[in-house]
Each structure stands twice: as structure tokens, then as C-alpha cells.
Structure 1
Amino acid sequence: MVKKKLPVGIDDFKEVIQNDYYFVDKSMLINELLDKKSKVTLLPRPRRFGKTLNMSMLNYFFSIENRENNRKLFEGLNISKTDKMEYAGEYPVIYISLKDIKFRSWMECFGALKNLISNLFQSKIYIRESLNEIQIKNFNDILMRNENADYTNALKDLSSYLESYYKKKVIILIDEYDTPLVTAHSQGYYDEAIFFFRNFLSAALKGNPYLEFSVLTGILRVAKESIFSGLNNLVVSTILDNDFNYFGLTEDEVEELLKYYELEYELEDVKKWYNGYRFGKRLVYNPWSLINFASKNELNPYWVNTSDNSLIKELLDKNDSKVIDDLKAVFSGNEIEEVITENIIFSDLEDVDTIWSLMLFSGYLTYDRFEISEITGAKTYFLKIPNYEVQSFFKNTFIKEYSHGKTAMYFKMLEDLYKGDVKKFEYKFKELYLSAISYHDSGDSEKYYHHFMLGLLLTLGDKYIVTSNRESGYGRYDIALEPKDKKNFGLIFEFKIGDKNSIHEKAKEALVQINEKKYDVAMKNNGISKVIKIGMAFSGKDVAIESEIN
């Protein structure tokens, strides 16, 4: 049997259906929207989780243009078995996607917006003959991209023209509404962008008498007092809610897909790589990664390599010690407790605490549960990395930070450590350390070097359980790496600081401490027979290492 093609990179609903691509039926999203019938609905979801395909589906379902042909697209889908088909082809629709509005300056951004709006008007040019002279001038100004055209009120004006032409109110669909603002923030023209988009969206969505309802998608739930200032009719459903969960793939949908392509034997590995996102009460898989995996039959990090990580990297670059500590905790497979802010204001991105909300809503973290404070009412979420694909993003981030352009040496150094060749590890570590550490970065705090070593060693998380500051024997070791394969070496590190003349004695002192405090007891009790004990002492760019194996 010839298998259906996989819609890799195709997010046009009509193209998927007419060309008989493999399609996971999410059409009951239409049913839920019509049941709830909010005036303006914002659906923030992570990138590449099916937002554009779903918005395209809404466009083809509701659009009064080509209504009969469009209705055929839904034959056999779940929505066709409901009474909601009476709404198919009943409304004029304005559909725009802002996902490609990503430019380095406001001038370039605004130029692209003018082109986008002009093309939108061009697609509705058939209504121009029904307009009066003033309306025709406004329409033509937009069409010709004139400087004096009223772009701010373009969506509202177009909805007025369509309502007058069809005698029916208009549905407005705006996909990836926040992409231009994320880019504007990273490129330094946020003030100009927010000024325009606040007025642009408010004109279309606030008090627009020609609006039937509107749906917007994006990644972030931006606070009302920011871009949606004064918009009182806004209903928001984030990944923390149980509503509108028609994004991502459920376990049943994934099993069906793998079975269809005769890949069901890969289910456990696929689950490890791409599952783990919690949307409301559901656990879902990343659809972009699943489609790419099924197409190539290779387990690779597809999603993190295509997503825009600029905001995440911007916050990571701040090197806030608590953020780094918490990231290292989740990288090690632990949970962290953080208060999540659903209403994000872009100016808050200067606050490093916002990174947890951003990472959760962007798909880099997920949660198992939450607790509500009886005193403040704040929700504390227990966050973790959802799967191996996202873990690979953090792993590569740490590699980049600690290898400083010497990636090959970095990997060989860790391989030496894994094999128990401490002398080779020591040689490569000292060379890498000279490149990685600056006199201005280092200090007289043991905690600084502890952070550095923990970040460097966390990339061994595939082979070891990495722990830090845990009790064992008669004290608390600095870092321990317990091998998942008990035949391999265990590793225990203890760190000291000193001056250039004393670090060799300090390194010996650290090794003695490991033995005297019996830090290896917990590992030995877990069946690890061979443990490498490493004492390290630091002074600026100088380091001394003492070790033994027993």
C-alpha cells in the first residue's frame, strides 16, 4: 500500500486535504470556538505546535468566499458530523499571519507590514466597486502602499467594507500576533512596534461594530495593559488551561501515526524524545518533531533547531546565578519550583525571573503539578525539561558556554574522564580552563568554581546521575556523578580555593577530605565498585588537581 505523504513544512489546510497528506483531525476546535463564542480569543501555544494549520482550517471553514468548494474540504472530518456545519461558509473572513514579520529595524518591519496589509486588500479587491469615493481612496491608498495610508485602522476599515458588501459581520483571524514584538524587543525597536500594534489591534478588536468574533494565536499571553490595553472582551486560554486543547499530538494520535508508517516499534524512544508537554490535563507530543521523525525515521532534535531562541538566549546571557543554578537542576533531571506569571509584559523581560514563564510558554519547560498559596493565591509550578529533544538544546547551550570554540577537545576531555584516564582529563581540562576563565570572571568564592564545574560536567547527564551538595558519609560532597551503568567509574569532586603557591596543597587537602568524610559510601552502597576521587583547587587561571581510584 502506498502511504500518504507527510506534510513536512506545509501549514495550509486546503493543500493538506486536497493533496491527501497525512492529517490529524483537529476540526473540533471549530466546535469549541462556536460553543464558547467569545468576542476575542487568544490561544498562546509554543511554536510549531500546529497553530498556523489550525488557523488556516478556521479560515477555510468560515470563509464565505468559495464556500461550496471549501465545505468539501471538511467531508469526513469530525466537525462534519455536528450541527456546526451550518456555520461553514457563512462569514467574510480577514486572515493574516505575522509569523514572517521579523526584521532588524522598525523601518524594515513597517515596510513588510505595509506589504502584508496591501496584499490583504488586494485579495478583497472585488469589493471596491461597492465603496463610496472616500472609501475607494482609503482602499487605494492601502493598495498602493502610500505613505499617508491609514494602516493603523486598516483591519477595522476592511471589516467595515466587507460587512457592508456581504451584510454579515466579519471574523478576524490573526496568526502569530506576537512575532513582530518578540523580534522588535531583541532588535531594539520595541517602543515603535508596541505603539503601532497596540493601536492596530485595538482598532480591529475593541468596539469594532463590524466584528463577529476574532481568534489570535501566538506564544505569549501579553498583559492587557500592554498590547491589549483597554480590550475588555479578551478571553485567553494558555497551555495551563483545559480549553481549546487541539494543539500538539496526543499519545493515541502518535500511536496511530507510527502504526500507519510501520514505526510502532519506535514508540518508547519517540516518547523519550518528543513527549512530555502538558497542555491542561493532557500530555502531548511535539507535532513538528513527530512529522520529521516519521519522514526520516531518525531521532534528532528537529524542533529546537528551527525555533527562535533569541529571548531565551538573551536571558541566559545575563548569567544570573540563581537562574544558572536552577537550569543546572532541571538539566540534571530535577524539578524546580517557580511562580509563573501568565500575563507577560515585554518590559518585564529585563527581569530574569520572567525566564521561567517564558520557558514554560515557549515549550522549553513543562510542569507536573502546581500548588496555590493560601496566603497570596500565587501558583507555584514544579517545572522540568519535557523530553530529550529539549534537553539537547540545554546540553548544546552548556557545551557552547564551556568549550569556548574547542568543542572537540571538550568532548575528548569528558571521554577521558568517562574512561577513567584522569591524567589525560587533567591535561585537557587545564588547557580548556585557560580559555574559558577570565581573571575578571573568577573570584575568591568557591561557589564560582563549583558553578563552573557543575555546568561543564552536566553534559555527561546521559551516562551519569549528576548531583551537587548532597550528603554522603560524614558530610556533603561538592559534585558526584553516579554512573547509570554500574560497571563504569563513579566520580566525586571536591573543590578548594587558594593562592597560586598553595593550590597544590589545597588540592591534596580536598582529596583527603573525600576519603576522610567517606563521600563514596552512598555510591558504593548503590553497587558502584570503582570510584574516581578528584580534589581540585583554584586560584584565578591556575588550577591544581589530585586524584585516586579505588
Structure 2
Amino acid sequence: MDFSRKLPIGVQSFKVLRDDNYLYVDKTEYIYKLASTGRVYFLSRPRRFGKSLFLSTLEAYFLGKKELFKGLAIEKLEEAEKGKREIWQEYPVFYLDFNVGKYDCIEALNTNFNVFLSDLEEKYGTSRAEDNFAKRFEGLLKRAYEKTGKQVVVLIDEYDKPLLYSMENQPLNDEYRAVLKSFYSVLKSSDQYIRLAFLTGVTKFSKVSIFSDLNNLNDISLVPQFSGICGITHTELLKTFEPEIRALAEANELSYEDCIKTLQQKYDGYCFVPETERMYNPFSLLNVFFGNQFEYYWFATGTPTFLVNSLKRSDYHIPNLDGNVEMTSAGLSDYRAEAGSEIPVLFQAGYLTIKGYDKLLQLYRLGFPNDEVRYGFLYNLFPNYCNVVYAEGPFCIAQFYRDIIAGRVEEFMQRLKSIMASLPYDTVKKESGESIALREHNFQVCVYLVFALLGQFIELETPVSNGRTDAVIKTDSRIYIFEFKLKEDAAAALKQIKEKNYAERFKAENKKILLIGVSFDAEEKTVGEWIIEEL
């Protein structure tokens, strides 16, 4: 590794990044666009996508730190305005960061607001009449404007963290919403004192009235001209990180071209606007380059427990997440604190992304952006639908892989049967006894998760020319064709494979073909019988 090329892992200060000569993907043209075209903005992007660094860059610009922008795009854009207006002006900047703190009680939010406002009040003064957070904020904006003669720049990072933290505690969530709504309404009532306001977050809580009074808010989350404001495009990757890509390729015994393909498959694929260049998560890329290893880094920063629980409670058809979710643009930018709200949050949080757009129907098609998110999320679902603890999840899949590679189909099926033999207690609908539909749903999801996770290591496909089989696994020497039946026996499953001639398209590969018909045992809530037949 060339240690003279410093990777900004964990660096969220633009000043530190520039002063200490870290590598930087130039996003300053967006600063110029924002400063030139509007006043109050909101940006939704997944966590670890560079939102905090972008806010820090905005802060440096509005503090007039011209020296930090030397050689960057905005330097030329600003110089072009010389003589037309005063450039590189210094404004008072109010920076509120919700990244700090554990929001498990209302006092945590109150403390954050008090620290933020008290620091500013030492500089701009106080008033006894200001007896709540909103009034103190409003008074500070006015006094800062009167004292400096300049309008204020307001930057709020991860505004929705208290709401996300309390999603499963409705009373606390309601309390947070009331306080935040009152506070954010000041951004409209004090508009005359504000040069620019920029809020970032994961979700836009419009349905729960957080921004209902802030109707001057410009949501740029799905706007084409700002699609690349955070994250790293493929063009930026090749321009900025070519030495790191070559070092990664050498460390993993890959060609330069194959290394790029692997990076795309594992980490590329985020799309926030149709027909725009797809994005990489910066956090994952930087960690890959630092360790020269293709690991899954994004999920190591947090587990989406509330999303997993919500999907399970709603009995959502999990296979649809793999590219078969459709939603309107209003749905993508919305959040509702009720059942059925999982998909918008999954999109806004970065677990799903835009895979296509139907212009006629005006529907977005969503799916996992890349392998890192796909397998990370499925591993988080695995213990909730199958009888394994999380720590055993990867190990369990490894055992399935070893069985199938060695041709041990009986062991493979016994393992599948055992992990589903006892569904978790919370899947039982107590008010009506055990629901057969629910047991079947969990059976289907568990089968899907096992085979989908095997796709990391083995070629796996399902579509065939004459119908659609449940799963096809291909190894160097064998092809396995699976058909699962919920309400018929294994013989019926095997009969379907033969009648629909699922194996025909694979005969030219000159591999051993095994047909496996499987039934579901409703009483035991697991795999019932199976029949294996070799062609």
C-alpha cells in the first residue's frame, strides 16, 4: 500500500481532510449549485454515504475558508463570478449534529438542543422571554443577523436519528415528533434571517407532520442534477482511486479489469434517480482499499433490527426484495409510522435502490443495490425465519455449501429440515392458534434464504424455458434441480420437474443432473419428505 495516499476512513471534517492531504472526491460543484439556486434543502441518503462530510464542506464554504478549496471545482466557478458579486463571504453558521447521543429518552434530545443553543447564546446573547427550544432558536437567528449583518446558514445533520431510534417506542416517538416539528417550523417563520438551510437524514417523515409547516423545503433527494451529491460514481472511482484499484487487484490475484468488475458487483449499484450514473457507498470502498480485501463492511456498522422485525410482523414476501418491488415516487420519499411502511424506509436507508422505471405507469422497480447489501441483509433475516442463531448463520450456509459441492444431497436436505424443525415462538398467531398460512410463509422464506445465500458461492438460478422451477444449483460436476410443494407430496414435485422438462436446457453441459422433489410437512412445520432421482 502507498501510505502517502491517505484514505479518509472516518474523516468527516472537510478542514481535516484538506489540511492533512487525504484523498478527496471533489463534490464542490454541488456546493456552488446549492448556494446559487435555493434556500432551504433536504437530502435523504443512506448512512455512511458521506452526508456529514458534505455538510462540513458547506460549513467551510460559508465560513469563507477559501484556502481549503484551492484546486477544486468551486474555485473556478467562484472566480467566474468575480466582479458580478462578492465572493467567498463569511456567514454565521449554526451546525446541529444529531449523530451524537443515544436517543432512548426525551432528556437525550433535550440535552442535545440545550448544548447546541447554549453555545450559540454565549456568542449572540439570550432573552428571558425565550422559554422553549423553538423560541430560543428563533431569537438566535435574529440576533446573529443583527450582530453580523449577514443571514445565517443552518446545517442539521441526521435530523431523523431520534425518530429512527424510537420507531418501536411509539409514545417516545410521538414526543420526539412534537418537539422536532416545533423546532423545524422556525426555518420558515424566520426565513428573512436565513441565507441557506440544509438538512440531511435517512428518511423524510412527511406523513407524520415533521415538515408539514415547512412547505418551503426543497427535497433534492430524487432530483437528477443532485443525484451524485454524495457517494462515489464509477467515473469518480476510476479517476481518483486507480492506484488503489491496482493494489487491490494484485493482492487478490486479479486483472485490473476483473478487479473493477468485482468492485461493481459487490459495492456499486445505488441509484437515486433513473438514468443517472450509479453510486458506490464511500465507506465500503475506502475500507476495501485500506485492507485490500473484498469484505462486507457496510453491515458491520449496524443491524437493521427494527426493519427485520417490521418485515416479519407484516408477513412480507421476502423474495420480492430481490428486484420485484414496485412503488410510486410519492411512496419513495415518504414514511408512515404504521404497518406497510417498510419499503420506503428500506429504500431511504439504502437496503433497496432503484433498478428500473416504468415511465407509462410511473412506477419505480426496487431491489438490492449490490452483493454487499443483498447478502448482509439476508443474513440478518436468516435467524428470524430459520431455527439458527445469528452467529451460526454464515457457518450454517457454509455447511450447506460443503454438502452440495460434495454431492451429499441427503445431508443437505436433513440440514434444511433441521433448521426449520422449530419456528421461533413469535411466528405463532396466538389469537387464532397456529396459522397454517403463516407456517407455509415461513417455510417459503426459509427455503428462499438458504438458496439465496448459497448464491455467494455457487451458481444459482431459477428461470427455465418451460415454466419456472424453485431452484437450480450448478457446481463444477453437478446440476441440482429442486421443486418444493406445500400441499402436495414429494412425488408430485418430482413429477412437475419431469413433465415441464426443467432439465432439458442443462443436458448440453455434460454434468450429472439430479432432480429433487420436496414436500412440506404441515404438522411438523418443516420439510417433510424428499425424492432424489438422477437422470
Contact between 1:62 and 1:87, CA under 8 Å: does it hold in 2?
no
Q: Relative to 1, partners in 2 of residues 1:539 and 1:418: Cα closer, same or farther, differing over 3 Å? A: farther
Q: Offset at 1:57? A: 1.0
The residue matched to 1:382 in structure 2 has which SS?
Answer: strand
> Using the alignment, how far apart are the partners of 2:485 and 2:368 within structure 1?
28
> Using the alignment, how far apart are the partners of 2:60 and 2:460 within structure 1?
50
Contact between 1:174 and 1:217, CA under 8 Å: does it hold in 2?
yes
> Using the alignment, how far apart are the partners of 1:538 and 1:225 within structure 2?
44
User: Is 2:215 the partner of 1:228?
Assistant: no
Contact between 2:187 and 2:214, CA under 8 Å: does it hold in 1?
no
TM-score (norm 1): 0.82
The partner residue of 1:419 within 406, 414, 417 is: 406
The residue matched to 1:14 in structure 2 has which SS?
Answer: helix
User: Is 2:47 the partner of 1:47?
Assistant: yes
Contact between 2:35 and 2:196, CA under 8 Å: does it hold in 1?
no
The partner residue of 2:304 within 301, 309, 327 is: 309
Q: Relative to 1, partners in 2 of residues 1:306 and 1:138: Cα closer, same or farther, differing over 3 Å? A: farther
Q: Relative to 1, partners in 2 of residues 1:507 and 1:5: Cα closer, same or farther, differing over 3 Å? A: same
The residue matched to 1:404 in structure 2 has which SS?
Answer: coil
Q: Relative to 1, partners in 2 of residues 1:444 and 1:12: Cα closer, same or farther, differing over 3 Å? A: closer
Which residue matches 1:106? 106
Q: Relative to 1, partners in 2 of residues 1:343 and 1:254: Cα closer, same or farther, differing over 3 Å? A: closer
Work out the percentage of aligned pairs sharing the same amino acid. 25
> Using the alignment, how far apart are the partners of 2:471 and 2:190 within structure 1?
61
Q: Relative to 1, partners in 2 of residues 1:403 and 1:458: Cα closer, same or farther, differing over 3 Å? A: farther
> Using the alignment, how far apart are the partners of 2:334 and 2:438 within structure 1?
35
- Structure-to-structure mapping, 1:25-40, within 5 angstroms: 25-36=26-37, 38-40=38-40
Which residue matches 2:253? none
Contact between 2:319 and 2:448, CA under 8 Å: does it hold in 1?
no
- Structure-to-structure mapping, 1:217-366, within 5 angstroms: 217-223=200-206, 226-239=209-222, 241-243=224-226, 245-261=228-244, 262-263=246-247, 265=256, 266-280=259-273, 281-307=276-302, 309-321=304-316, 323-327=317-321, 330=322, 334-342=323-331, 346=335, 348-352=336-340, 354-366=341-353
Which residue matches 1:171? 153
Q: Offset at 1:480? A: 2.4
The partner residue of 1:489 within 476, 479, 482 is: 479
Q: Offset at 1:345? A: 5.5
Which residue matches 1:23? 24
Contact between 1:274 and 1:388, CA under 8 Å: does it hold in 2?
yes
Contact between 2:478 and 2:513, CA under 8 Å: does it hold in 1?
yes
> Using the alignment, how far apart are the partners of 1:536 and 1:224 within structure 2?
44
Counterpart residue type for residue 338 of structure 1: M
> Using the alignment, how far apart are the partners of 1:101 and 1:2 within structure 2?
33
Q: Relative to 1, partners in 2 of residues 1:465 and 1:527: Cα closer, same or farther, differing over 3 Å? A: farther
Which residue matches 2:66? 71
The residue matched to 1:238 in structure 2 has which SS?
Answer: coil
Which is greater in Rg?
1
Contact between 2:332 and 2:347, CA under 8 Å: does it hold in 1?
no
For structure 1, the 5+ residue unaligned runs are: 129-134, 140-148, 499-505
Q: Offset at 1:94? A: 1.0
Q: Offset at 1:194? A: 0.7
Aligned length: 502
Q: Offset at 1:205? A: 3.3
Cα displacement string for residues 1-55 of structure 1 (whole angstroms, at most 9, x for unaligned residues): 752321111101111111111111111122101221x221112122111111111
Cα displacement string for residues 423-476 of structure 1 (whole angstroms, at most 9, x for unaligned residues): 2223333332323377865627995444442333222223133427x663xxx5
Cα displacement string for residues 325-372 of structure 1 (whole angstroms, at most 9, x for unaligned residues): 412xx1xxx4443334357554x24232x3222222222122233124
Which residue matches 1:160? 142
Contact between 1:492 and 1:520, CA under 8 Å: does it hold in 2?
no
TM-score (norm 2): 0.85
Q: Relative to 1, partners in 2 of residues 1:205 and 1:316: Cα closer, same or farther, differing over 3 Å? A: same
Which residue matches 1:453? 447
Task: Give the alignment's Cα RMSD to 1 decimal.
Answer: 2.9
The partner residue of 2:388 within 404, 407, 420 is: 404
> Using the alignment, how far apart are the partners of 2:512 and 2:287 within structure 1?
42
